Structure 1
Amino acid sequence: MTLSKAHDVILLVDDDPVIRILMRKALTSSVELIIEASNGEEAIELFKRYSPDLILLDVSMDNMDGFECCSIIRALPEGDNVAIIMVTALDQPQDIQKAFNVGATDFMTKPVKWPLLSHRIQYVLKANKTIKELTKSKNKLAKAQSIAHLGSWEWDFKTESLDCSDEVYRIVGIAPHQAQMTLSYLIEVVHPDDRDFVRSTVLNALQTKQPYDIEYRVLNTSGEVITVHDVTDITFDFGEPKLNGTLHDITTRKKTEQEISYYAFYDTLTDLPNRRKFLMQLDSAIANAQRHANKLALLFIDLDSFKKINDTLGHKAGDELLCQAAQRIKDSIRDSDNLAVGELTKFNEQHIGRLGGDEFTLILSDLTDFDSVANIAQRIIDSLSKPYFIQGIKSFISASIGISFYPDDGITADILLQHADTAMYEVKNNGKNSYQLFSHEKHQSLMARLKTEAELREAIQCGDQLELYYQPQYNVITSQAVGYEALLRWNHPTKGILSPIDFMAVAENSGLIIEIGKWVLVEACTQAKMLQDKHIDFKRMAVNLSALQFNDENIYDYVKFAIDHTQVSPHLLELEITESAIIRNVDDAIALLVKLKDLGVKLAIDDFGTGYSSLNYLRNFPIDTLKIDKSFVDEIVTNPKDAAIARTIIQLAMNLELSTIAEGVEQTEQFEILKSLGCNDIQGYLYSKALPAKKLWEK
């Protein structure tokens, strides 16, 4: 065991005790701890125990001479760190050389000059300490280089040999100093694709004596590809230039950068380019088409009913379906289809992208006719329509594809994508599972709808553009106004008063009808409360509920809030609901209608006879009124079939003890026929148009 020590330790090894006494006496004044051994074996054991800083070792000893003892000590742990001075009476050059060959630090000849011994020992100790510190620093540097994967090398421009650290050897895949590192060998292990670049860089440094800073790949002896960063500098030793370099293994960093790049530009689920990457590729494809005066097509592919898969089978199943769909899109493209920039006759899946969710895109370039695009679009639709087996369950989806062309439909990536998206939504609106080319006329219509939606949102927020008009409903016997239908109007800042036909479709498609409907309920109930307090003949305030409103999960709460907030009598509020809204989900509709009836409100079927007229639901639904649609009233005088339909509706209502209201009555003859058939109430221009609220109080 090596003992810790705070001072120098010297081991004296000589089989002559007199010599050891003389040595100790000469060194006592300068060395604090001196230990002695009388032979080589004892010297080895003391070395293991004390790990001395210096050994004075006699060459000529019995059994084991000094040469053998020195060789053994050098092979022991810490044996390289001790200074060994061989003491010999031999003065032949070959003996001195042998001493150095076995590892001696220095030698002394006998007889020893005792007055100089102490100085000689101190000098050797100091020199050995310096060597130890240098070795320690070198080891630290080697360790640091190993941790940092950073090697160092030096080239004197004169020879092929390079002076390299151990880490350089590791990078190229050979054991340190297994072979002489030369410039030729180092260039030889450079990756073939980078070799000419590295060779020319080094030759330029040789000619110009200028440093360089480059990155390249090394193919080491194990076949591993390592990326290195090679940075150099020029130094001068005694006026002679040298090229000093550091070789940094940046393979891990490069892999990390590649992973970061992958996550930035690729969809991790399908391995397809994401939106950012695809738009870059589309820009490149457009630039290529522009240079060669070619056309290209952009296909925007949206999976139909994908949300149903997620909702019923879960997101994991949805992800699996997306992966299968992506593969089917790839498989739908044949090798003969022209797709990619610079590779116009070969399929390149890099030009299929996933924009997000269930949306995919595809670039077709170097086009000569539309038929090829149509064929590809139809193949994709056919492929995506085949059954999927997700988690053992057979499932089906379809796809809607919009197509735009460069340069006909746009000259930038954003415009082409927008127009392909527009065409795709036309497919959605027309039944899905098909493809559609972009139409400028339809695009203008869409832009108008988007503008209307934006203006409608602003109208809702500002609160002073929407208002209700009220069309009176008259009793056919008394000709007195007994109720009103609340009709929405939009006082547009530039277009004037707009009726629902001008904006209701936009409100429905955008979902804004929900917010508008809440406001209408409160506003209509407020007016109904005022009429209730002033007119004893007032019986109803009719408010239309769209299908979207009726099927909203919060509609009951909206109606109850309007009643509670305005304190109107519930029986004065009549909700008009279309047949199509009720018939969507009969069981849920019955439950909701019963809850609304429990509030005390009245319920009317609007436009009765134009939808799913069914005696079955009339029998089961808690309905109070049937409204005869204007389409049956318009020709009731001249068309016997319309008159027969009106008669049937009125008779049916009587049999079911329901009241009837006919809308759109504009002629006296129409009124007389409806009165004769037993219709209860009417509304229409014969009596009054819809009136603003302030006009109600003038009547």
Structure 2
Amino acid sequence: MTHATAHDVILIVDDDPVIRMLMRRALNSSMTNIIEASSGEEAIALFSVHLPDLILLDVSMDKMDGFECCSVIRAMPEGENVAIIMVTALDQPDDIKKAFDVGATDFMTKPVKWPLLNHRIQYVLKANKTIKELTKSKNKLARAQSIAHLGSWEWDFKNKTLDCSDEVYRMIGMQPQERELTFANLIEIVHPDDRELLSQTVKNALLTREPYDIEYRVLHGNGDIITLHDRTDITYDYGEPKLNGTLHDISNRKKSEQEIAYYAYFDTLTDLPNRRKFLLQLESAIALAKRHSTKLALLFIDLDHFKRINDTLGHKAGDELLCEAASRIKAIIRQADILGESNQSDYDNNHIARLGGDEFTLLLTELEEFDSVAVIAQQLIDELSKPYFIMGKQTFISASIGISFYPNDGLSGDMLLQHADTAMYEVKNNGKNGYQLFSHEMHKSLMDRLQIEAELREAITHGDQLELHYQPQVCATNGHIVGYEALLRWRHPRRGLLTPFDFIHIAESSGLIIVIGEWALLEACKKAKSLCAANSHVKRIAVNLSALQFNHPNILTHVQHALTQTGLPPRMLELEITESAIIDNVDDAILLLFKLKKLGVNLAIDDFGTGYSSLNYLKNFPIDTLKIDKSFVDGIVNNQKDAAIARTIIQLALNLGLSTIAEGVEYIEQSELLTSMGCNDLQGYLFAKPIPSTQL
């Protein structure tokens, strides 16, 4: 048993000095820290100074009686933590009830049984210390829950009321313990679209006594909509089941996911769907047309002379013109008489996209005859050719439109897009400002593609045409070169030096990328040893893995072989992987990434923000670095949305303990802004173009 000690402060309050003396004598001789008060007023003054652990308080005193004194002390700072034993000759039930109503811990009647007083005080002190510790632990838990936006609740299945922590109340915009919470009144503030989910889930828990783990939205007291993650468990007290739950406010995480997901599928400048979104929409439209035996048309729209606007008026003017052009395309589709009243509502923004730069696409579905497409194409050309007033100046552009049809010109989205693109370039070659339907005479372009594939195979066989160029990656804070990215080049015997843009799509579609990737990995590791030896600041060589290469069954063997053959320390190799490669098969990707990580290499997500951008894989995958895509860096200075995306990615990486590198940095303003945001490393033409191995 815990005994009262000299550290415990005891306050004796009684207007009879004899009683005070007898109480002092009855207390344990080791308890020397005893103070006395002859009135309620004096007791209050002494309490503020000494903060006693226990008060022996007489009820019947002149002026201020014990009831009033107890009530005042309880209302004072630290007044809730002191044990108060009220001592009185009154022994009526109403008097005892009144004592506990004003906050007494215990009640003792006169005459006092002096031999038992010491034991009584020891037990009260022990109990009060236990209560203090529990209160302290509860306060710590409450503070932790508040910081983490995490609340807890408990339900015994018998009562309607939920036992909720204070943070639960704060989450939903109520004062702590403002009222009793039940599932019935909780359902009232749940978002209407989520009420059925929560109701059915709780009903199932009642029937099966099984826990659940769900997310739902709640209307906060201030009018905001917050998202809660509700995770539960079943426990048993004396054989009786209880449902214990935690509520986590994940609104910020959901907002970040939604923002990243939105910008992964939509163009930040025009708010139109981007290439990724459009391709998904196109495949869906093709599947629908196939099922219903209908036709569709794909229009590939490229603005003529757009580069001239950028060069003469600047990128801000170019952005303004792109937005105006997008608005005109949408207006034409809404007003096109050829669609008919019944179909106009179907042509929303999902049928129009900005593929990138000055390229737009338009998808027309459920066509009855192809002639109507030519009418719309001409209307687009006429509208886009009208004068633009950009930054107070009148300017003109035109448009070249290529058109392909399903099923006549292709059965897949890639083929339709390729054929429409081919038809558009035919317009460009014939003077621009017009439209062209794809014809099978354009098959020559496909034959050229096959020719490139054959020449690429020849280049791989001889091994002297492919080479790696290296672009430095610099530290944003001190400008030191900290790494290099290995970039593939093809020194074509007739066409000169080619970048991956000219041939990599052919390499991937033909499967040649596997052989090329294995060679590039080995070559880069060889060069990395000499680069790191020449410059102590260089810590890594970055090598891209295409989606096809990453998902190849022998990729782990290829990486191990490159490291073993060259003797390169694994930490100096960084593998850059695209988001699409990761999410194609999440389970296999997780396993492979951990195997690669076990080798000791670093892993980076290339072009982050342009793909799926789910926070789940950042949480679950062993990723070291996020590479901010050039498409965001290009507009970071003048476009607030691009700047917001970059800042969100950098802050997200910082919170997750990841490093960041921005690619495509061309201007000092971009470099300074990215550095101020906290980006770790930078890469781009501002520092150096990719250069051959021999020039390093």
Bin of the TM-score, shorter chain as denominator length: 0.5 to 0.7
Q: Deviations over 1:319-370 (max 9, x none)?
A: 1111111111111112667999x98743211221111111111111111112
Letter in 1 for 2:93: P
Letter in 2 for 1:72: V
Report what 1:229 is aligned to.
229
Report what 1:33 is aligned to.
33
Q: Which segment drifts farther, 233-242 or 124-133?
A: 233-242
Q: Is the 8 A contact 1:162 1:181 kept in 2?
A: yes
Letter in 2 for 1:190: V
Q: Is the 8 A contact 2:9 2:53 kept in 1?
A: yes
Residues of 1 paired with 2:74 and 2:140: CA distance? 22
Residues of 2 paired with 1:324 and 1:237: CA distance? 67
Q: How far is 1:437 from its partner?
A: 0.8
Report what 2:446 is aligned to.
447
Match of 1:246, SS state, is strand
Q: 1:453 to 1:232 in 2, by over 3 A?
A: closer
Q: How far is 1:510 from its partner?
A: 9.7
Q: How does 1:584-599 map to 2 (within 5 A)?
A: none
Residues of 1 paired with 2:59 and 2:66: CA distance? 4
Report what 2:245 is aligned to.
245
How many residues of Structure 1 are paired with residues of Structure 2 in the alignment? 467
Residues of 2 paired with 1:158 and 1:457: CA distance? 74
Q: Deviations over 1:70-126 (max 9, x none)?
A: 000101111111111101111111111110000000011122222222221111111
Letter in 1 for 2:23: M
Q: How far is 1:451 from its partner?
A: 5.2
Report what 2:530 is aligned to.
none
Residues of 2 paired with 1:201 and 1:463: CA distance? 62
Report what 1:357 is aligned to.
357
Report what 1:132 is aligned to.
132
Q: Deviations over 1:190-233 (max 9, x none)?
A: 11111122111111111121111111111234332111111111
Report what 2:436 is aligned to.
436
Letter in 2 for 1:194: D
Q: 1:29 to 1:305 in 2, by over 3 A?
A: same
* 1:219 is aligned to 2:207: no
Q: 1:418 to 1:270 in 2, by over 3 A?
A: same
Report what 2:184 is aligned to.
184
Residues of 2 paired with 1:430 and 1:307: CA distance? 19
* 1:333 is aligned to 2:333: yes
Q: How far is 1:138 from its partner?
A: 1.1
Q: Which segment drifts farther, 126-135 or 344-353?
A: 344-353
Q: Is the 8 A contact 1:339 1:348 kept in 2?
A: no
Q: Is the 8 A contact 1:427 1:433 kept in 2?
A: yes
Q: 1:509 to 1:209 in 2, by over 3 A?
A: closer
Letter in 2 for 1:357: G
Match of 2:420, SS state, is helix
Q: How does 1:141-156 map to 2 (within 5 A)?
A: 141-156=141-156
Q: 1:202 to 1:464 in 2, by over 3 A?
A: closer
Report what 1:66 is aligned to.
66
> Can you give the 5+ residue segments of structure 1 that lack an aligned partner in the other structure?
466-502, 512-699
Q: Is the 8 A contact 2:145 2:167 kept in 1?
A: yes
> Can you give the 5+ residue segments of structure 2 that lack an aligned partner in the other structure?
466-491, 500-696
Q: Is the 8 A contact 1:274 1:353 kept in 2?
A: yes
Q: Is the 8 A contact 1:351 1:363 kept in 2?
A: yes
Q: Is the 8 A contact 2:273 2:349 kept in 1?
A: no
Q: How does 1:253-272 map to 2 (within 5 A)?
A: 253-272=253-272
Residues of 2 paired with 1:228 and 1:313: CA distance? 49
Q: 1:195 to 1:245 in 2, by over 3 A?
A: same
Match of 1:46, SS state, is helix
Report what 1:692 is aligned to.
none
Q: Which segment drifts farther, 271-280 or 219-228?
A: 219-228
Residues of 2 paired with 1:211 and 1:510: CA distance? 59
Report what 1:82 is aligned to.
82
Q: How does 1:178-577 map to 2 (within 5 A)?
A: 178-334=178-334, 345-442=345-442, 444-450=443-449
Q: How far is 1:457 from its partner?
A: 9.1
Q: Deviations over 1:624-678 (max 9, x none)?
A: xxxxxxxxxxxxxxxxxxxxxxxxxxxxxxxxxxxxxxxxxxxxxxxxxxxxxxx
Residues of 2 paired with 1:282 and 1:315: CA distance? 30
Per the normalisation by structure 2, the TM-score is 0.63
Residues of 2 paired with 1:91 and 1:128: CA distance? 24
Q: How far is 1:282 from its partner?
A: 1.2
Report what 1:482 is aligned to.
none
Residues of 2 paired with 1:348 and 1:11: CA distance? 79
Residues of 2 paired with 1:339 and 1:251: CA distance? 42
Q: Is the 8 A contact 1:338 1:346 kept in 2?
A: no
Q: 1:295 to 1:40 in 2, by over 3 A?
A: same
Residues of 1 paired with 2:331 and 2:412: CA distance? 28
Q: How far is 1:25 from its partner?
A: 2.1
Q: Is the 8 A contact 2:336 2:376 kept in 1?
A: no
Q: How far is 1:27 from its partner?
A: 2.2
Q: 1:379 to 1:55 in 2, by over 3 A?
A: same
Match of 1:326, SS state, is helix
Q: How far is 1:458 from its partner?
A: 9.8
Residues of 1 paired with 2:46 and 2:244: CA distance? 44
Residues of 1 paired with 2:391 and 2:351: CA distance? 30
Residues of 1 paired with 2:198 and 2:187: CA distance? 7
Letter in 2 for 1:270: T
Match of 1:298, SS state, is strand
Match of 1:195, SS state, is helix
Residues of 2 paired with 1:464 and 1:120: CA distance? 96
Q: Which segment drifts farther, 18-27 or 7-16?
A: 18-27
Q: Is the 8 A contact 1:389 1:395 kept in 2?
A: yes
Letter in 2 for 1:445: K
RMSD: 3.0
Q: Is the 8 A contact 1:387 1:395 kept in 2?
A: yes
Q: How far is 1:371 from its partner?
A: 2.5
Identity fraction in percent: 71
Q: 1:7 to 1:336 in 2, by over 3 A?
A: farther
Match of 1:157, SS state, is coil
Q: How far is 1:403 from its partner?
A: 0.8
Q: 1:189 to 1:6 in 2, by over 3 A?
A: farther
Q: Is the 8 A contact 2:70 2:102 kept in 1?
A: yes
Q: 1:337 to 1:53 in 2, by over 3 A?
A: farther
Letter in 1 for 2:363: I
Letter in 2 for 1:295: K
Q: Deviations over 1:260-288 (max 9, x none)?
A: 10122221111111111111111111111
Q: 1:456 to 1:187 in 2, by over 3 A?
A: closer
Q: Is the 8 A contact 1:298 1:416 kept in 2?
A: yes
Residues of 1 paired with 2:406 and 2:397: CA distance? 30
Q: Which segment drifts farther, 275-284 or 163-172?
A: 163-172
Q: How far is 1:32 from its partner?
A: 3.6
Letter in 2 for 1:435: Y
Residues of 1 paired with 2:167 and 2:311: CA distance? 56
Residues of 1 paired with 2:457 and 2:164: CA distance? 73
Residues of 1 paired with 2:498 and 2:130: CA distance? 84
Q: 1:459 to 1:22 in 2, by over 3 A?
A: closer
Q: 1:197 to 1:12 in 2, by over 3 A?
A: same
Letter in 2 for 1:39: S
Q: Is the 8 A contact 1:339 1:363 kept in 2?
A: no
Residues of 1 paired with 2:41 and 2:335: CA distance? 83
Q: Is the 8 A contact 2:404 2:416 kept in 1?
A: yes
Residues of 2 paired with 1:8 and 1:510: CA distance? 85
Residues of 1 paired with 2:420 and 2:347: CA distance? 21
Match of 1:333, SS state, is helix
